[in-house]
Amino acid sequence: MSLLSNVLRRVLEAITIGILVALAVVVVSAVTARYVFNSSFVWYDEVASVMLAWLTFYGAGLAALRRRHLGFPGLVLSLPLRARFIVFLLGEAVVIASFVAVGYAGWFILQIMGSDTLISLPIPLAVTQSVVPIGAALFVIGTLLSSPAAWATLRDGRSSEDEEIEEEIARAERGG
């Protein structure tokens, strides 16, 4: 994995962990306020929904970079090498085109709704909804950065599942 891939992986891990911890704090605080103090936060539902969307999009970028998203490596491995290469390239092109379309749509929507704010807090939708084009761009970047290693693995007749199993075995043998 390249230096850029490693740096991006660490940044995305930190972001997703940070969002997950913040979401847990918001949820626990809201539950505590509701059941202990018999009051509720008017902003809770909206903020928790936004944070869940952020977690989803940043997590998807991390999954793309680590090649941990859905795939069919067994099916692709069953093909001859030339067909495997064509299917791999076609799959990469479809994924990239799909997320470019999602990113464009997210950017387009930001232009329309960007000056509006959340209902419960004075936070611009440009902030909350920016995760769509950013997340789509991160998914495309993660796919492009991980494609060479993914192809090398498939070319050698191995799958991402094989690599994941080997990583977990090595982690278990190290005791961590």
* Helix, strand, or coil (residue 119): coil
pLDDT at 71 over 80: no
pLDDT at 55 over 90: yes
* Residue-level pLDDT at 159: 77
Please give the residue that has the higher pLDDT: either 156 or 19. 19
**Residue 121 DSSP symbol:** S
pLDDT in tens, 14-50: 999 999 999 999 999 999 998 888 888 888 889 999 9
pLDDT at 176 over 70: no
Helices (H) and strands (E) in the chain, counts: 7, 0
Q: How confident is the model at residue 89 (pLDDT cuts 50, 70, 90)?
A: very high
Element (H or E) spanning 150, and its range? Answer: helix 131-155
* Residue-level pLDDT at 167: 82
pLDDT in tens, 98-148: 999 999 999 998 888 868 888 888 888 888 899 999 999 999 999 999 999
* Residue-level pLDDT at 96: 97
pLDDT in tens, 158-174: 877 777 788 888 888 88
Whole-number Cα distances in Å, 152 to 51, 73, 81, 126: 36, 13, 12, 40
Mean predicted confidence (pLDDT) in 88-106? 96
Cα gap 152→85, rounded to integer Å? 10
Here the tokens at position 52 are: 């869940």
Q: For 58-62, 82-86, 108-112, 115-119, which range has the lowest pLDDT when averaged over its residues?
A: 115-119
* Helix, strand, or coil (residue 124): strand
Mean predicted confidence (pLDDT) in 6-17? 95
DSSP 89-110: HHHHHHHHHHHHHHHHHHHHHH
* Residue-level pLDDT at 82: 92
